Structure formats: C-alpha cells, structure tokens
Chain A
C-alpha cells in the first residue's frame, strides 16, 4: 500500500495510507488530509490512486502544488516524491517500497519490454482513461503499466530472479562514516603542503616518470602503482602490483618526494 508521510520542518507528523481511490488534501475539515494552514487552499489537491499508481492533481489552489521543487498541475507520483504545500511536506512512498521497506525493486534483473506487452498495457490505460485522472495521466500510466505487465509476464516465463539463495544486497558503507584522509608533503619544493583526499581517486607523481593513484574505498585508503619503472615505497617497503592499504602516519615515497598519509578525525 502506497502512503504519504506528512512532515513540517523535518518533523514527521503522521503517515497516511492511500486506501481510497480519491484522497483529497486541503484546509477545510471535510478533506481526507486536512492541513490547517493559511497557505493551503480549502480544496487544494487530490491524489487519485488506481491499482499501484497514484496521480496528484492540483485543484486550482491559490498557492499551487510543488513536487520536488517544480510547480505541477498533474503529476504521476513516484517513490520518494516530495509534495510541498506551504511549510508542510508530503513524501510519497510507493507500493513496492512500502511493502519491501527497501529499495530492492530498482536493481531487478534486466528484462525486455516487448511491444506485445505495450499493447495490452495501452488497452488497460484506455480503460483507465475513463476513470478520474484523465487521459493525460493515462498515457503515462500506459508506460508504467507496460512495465508492470513486462514484469508479470516475465516472471511467468521464468525470467524473474530465480535465485532464492541470493543474499540481501550488501549495504555499501556510508561515505560519511569513514574518516577523511590527507597527505602532507615532507620533502621537495612544496614541503609542508597538505592535500585532503576527498575524491574517490587522487593521482600522484609525474606522468611518464612515476604515477600512483590513491583510492578512497569503504574499507579505507589504498595506494596503487600505475606507471613507471620504479614503484613507490610505503615506510621504506616497495609496494606490489596489487593495491596496498594505507594506515595512519604511513610515509610514502614517490618520484623522489616523501609524503605522510594521515587520517583526520
């Protein structure tokens, strides 16, 4: 079941499941979602839910309806869309995401969308066009329905993920949790200069002579030799062909220049 999460200033006020075909939003008390704020019109907007798809329509409100920063008249709601009404925000959480609680859907196996699937979907959409939401929405819905169709027909044909032992996606380590590394030059003309390693890749050395790359990965920082007859050294030890992990206060020597790697807390 798709739902809306109402919040103000980042504070979640309530969750509203979209159970009805028409969910009205406005300032007046008869609305399904009443938002008592002068910036919100009496009858501000409506969300029409057909099967798994929800469409947001502005009902000629004074201040308009904004989705993801753009003013809209009619909008096919997608997962994580944010609807802004004055100071209030409504976040739309789609059917699949609400059911699974994860973003598993967006990395399904590749599948083909076939013209035959498109056709049946268009028929579906035509039927849908008579429903409130209008023909405009139907065109968009045709595509989405075709996608749905492809997914169903694909699973029927044995195309869907048949791998029950598939592990849950390995959660990538959040970038922010990792301490920021930096290097400080210890010798050469720029001795004392510091360079923060914010990018996923930092190239060091002189092209054609000796080049190494410092990579930032969830596990930490690594140094890899890329080019040149001589390999860089870490704490006096020449590194191998494989990437070498860097520890706090390791001293790297590259193309005759010494530098220290350290982690910033």
Chain B
C-alpha cells in the first residue's frame, strides 16, 4: 500500500552552531510509511558512520522485507501482526552491522547511535527507539512526548532521585543507557499506537529537545502546522538561536487521511486493479 498520498513529510538536519560535522542521520520512505532518525556517537567521523549505517540498513532491509510480506499480515504462530517483528529484526540487523564494523575497524571502535523508527500501517503507528532520540505527537492541540529516553537522567527521574526541574540543570544529560551498535545484542523498545488523521508526529534528536523547551517546540509545530517544511526549518533555527550546541535533526509526519489495511477479498481485487 502506497502511503505517499496519505502522509505529508518534511525533514531537516543541521550541524548546529558549534560542531563542525553532523553526526545525525535522517531517512524517510513515505511510500512504505517508514521514518528513521539516528544520532551517532564516536570519535572522528565514526558517529556519522554509525548513524548513516543505521538509517541505510533499516530503510533498505525494511523495503526488502515489505516486498515479501505486509506489516499487517498475521503471524501464524502468535496471531499478531508481523510489523513489530519486522522492525525488531531490521533493528537487530543494523545493530550487527554497526557492531561488526566497530569491531573490525579500529577507527570505528566504540561507535554507536541512538535511534527512533516509525512505521505507519493500518491506521497505526509503530515506534521503536533506543537512547535519547525522541518521538513527539501533536494531536487536537495537545503536544506530548511519546517515547521515554533510555538515559541516566530519565532513570534518575523515574526513581524519584531528581525532579523534572532539577533535570533541566543536571549534568550527565548526555549519557544514554541503550544504543545501537555498542553491544552484540540490543533490545529496542517497541510500541504501537493508533494514528488519526490530523496527527503530526515529530521525530527529533536531542539537539532539539535539549536546546528548546517542549512548550516552544509545541508552539512552533502548531503555528507552522499548515506548512511542515517551514516548521522543520523553524525548529532547527530555534535550536540554533538558543546556542545550537549539538546537531539538530527533525522529521515531521502528518497523517492526512485514514489508511486502513486492505484486507478483504474485494479490497485485494481493487488493489490489484490499481
């Protein structure tokens, strides 16, 4: 099912005001409803290599997998849709590729990347993430964070060691507890949510949410909602105006219409006729 007419997409990525190169990587495949954002880490250019590998591997492997099956097909054994398993498999493939490259080439030793992946299918959105890259949702004028960071800070907040107010001024904001390509295996956090027409999803790297308050991000997404491209470049600009100390990347996805999976016999015939 081609989603290009159903999802409106805009993305932007920028090295920021301080760093000389961009270790973030974004990739979008609107036809398959697949969006990937990665924020790499590692010395020299290894961060770019890791995030670039993550987005490329996940997009290409997923395209191949979606050529063989459909995400809403039901697994014969578990009687659940295949999508979570498909995404999980591709994330693991990306993990293996990055980990092996890091092991075999000394200049890439220790590289890794955070990740947030969205797959839109059957009026749903599937989200997989690792580390502190985030997904936000703007729906009916409300703006909320969908993913929970895998970071030391988030753990401290969860365990009640520090308050949200203290977290804003905390040190060690940069420490993530899960990442892609660091260890031979990894467990991405995967959830599914119902998607509705009018929803705007924002995938972003920590370069945005560290520099710009959630409230201001929300305001910008809503003010520029009629023009997603403008919204994306404005978000990057806000991060840079506030200092832009890290690479900034955003992907904005708006759901224009419902997109139920074509399951019935008639639907298959129509799909075939098209």
A264 interface residue per 8 A CB criterion = no
B166 to chain A, nearest CB (A): 7
B224 contacts the other chain (Cβ, under 8 Å)?
yes
Smallest CB–CB gap between B160 and chain A, Å? 12
Contacts of A215 in B (CB 8 A): 234
B112 touches A112 (CB 8 A): yes
Interface pair B169/A79, CB less than 8 Å apart:
yes
User: Cα distance A141–B153 when bound, in Å?
Assistant: 14
B170 at the interface (CB under 8 A from A): yes
- Does residue B179 face the partner (Cβ distance < 8 Å to A)? yes
**How many A-B pairs with Cβ below 8 Å?**
133
B114 interface residue (CB < 8 Å to A): yes
Query: Could you tell me the distance between the alpha carbons of A211 and B230 in the complex, rounded to whole angstroms?
Result: 13
Whether the Cβ atoms of B176 and A112 lie closer than 8 Å is yes
Q: Is B182 an interface residue (CB 8 A)?
A: yes
What residue of chain A has the Cβ atom nearest to residue B130's Cβ? A112
In the complex, chain B residues whose CB is within 8 Å of the CB of A160: 43
The answer to whether B41 touches A218 (Cβ under 8 A) is no
Bound-complex Cα distance A217 to B176 (A): 31
Q: Nearest-CB distance from A234 to chain B (Å)?
A: 17
Asked, given contacts A107-B246, A166-B18, whether A224 binds B230 with beta carbons under 8 Å apart, the answer is yes
Query: Assuming A166-B19, A217-B241, is B175 touching A106 (CB within 8 A)?
Result: no
Whether B230 and A226, one on each chain, are in contact in the complex, defined by CB atoms closer than 8 angstroms, is yes
Among A106-130, those with CB < 8 Å from B are 106-114
Contact of B20 among A105, A143, A163 (CB under 8 A): A163
Task: Kindly provide the distance from the CB of B165 to the nearest chain A CB, expressed in whole angstroms.
Answer: 8
CA distance A143 to B157 in the complex (A): 13
> Could you say which interface size class chain A belongs to?
35 or more
Q: Which of A153-177 contact B (CB under 8 A)?
A: 154, 157-160, 162-163, 165-167, 169-172
User: Within B118-133, which residues are at the interface with A (CB < 8 Å)?
Assistant: 131-132
A105 to B169, CA, bound (A): 11
Residue A17 at the chain B interface, CB threshold 8 Å = no
Question: Which partner residue on chain B sits nearest A211 by CB separation?
Answer: B226
Name B7-65 residues within 8 Å CB distance of A. 17-20, 39, 41-44, 47
C-alpha spacing A99/B244, complex, angstroms: 23
- Does B271 count as interface, using CB distance less than 8 angstroms? no
Most buried by B among A112, A163, A172, A227: A112
Instruction: Tell me if A257 counts as interface (CB < 8 A to partner B).
Output: no
When the two chains form their complex, are residues A170 and B219 in contact, meaning their CB atoms are under 8 A apart?
A: no
Shortest B87–chain A CB gap in Å is 21
Contact, CB under 8 Å: B169 / A199? no
The answer, yes or no, to whether B185 is at the interface (CB within 8 Å) is no
Q: How far is the CA of A171 from the CA of B182 in the complex (A)?
A: 34
Does A29 have its Cβ within 8 Å of any Cβ on chain B? no
What CA separation (Å) do A215 and B44 show in the bound complex? 36
Shortest distance between the CB of A181 and any CB in chain B (Å) = 16
How distant is the Cα of A68 from the Cα of B241 in the complex, in angstroms? 29
Whether a CB of chain B sits under 8 angstroms from the CB of A147 is yes
Q: Would you mind naming 5 contact pairs between A and B with Cβ atoms under 8 Å apart?
A: A79-B171, A143-B155, A163-B20, A172-B242, A219-B241
Contact surface of A with B, Cβ cutoff 8 Å:
68, 78-80, 94, 96, 105-114, 140, 143-144, 146-147, 150, 154, 157-160, 162-163, 165-167, 169-172, 199-203, 207, 211, 213, 215, 217-219, 224, 226-227
9 extra interface residue pairs, beta carbon distance < 8 Å, beyond A110-B39, A158-B110: A68-B166, A78-B170, A106-B173, A109-B174, A110-B176, A112-B131, A112-B182, A224-B230, A224-B234
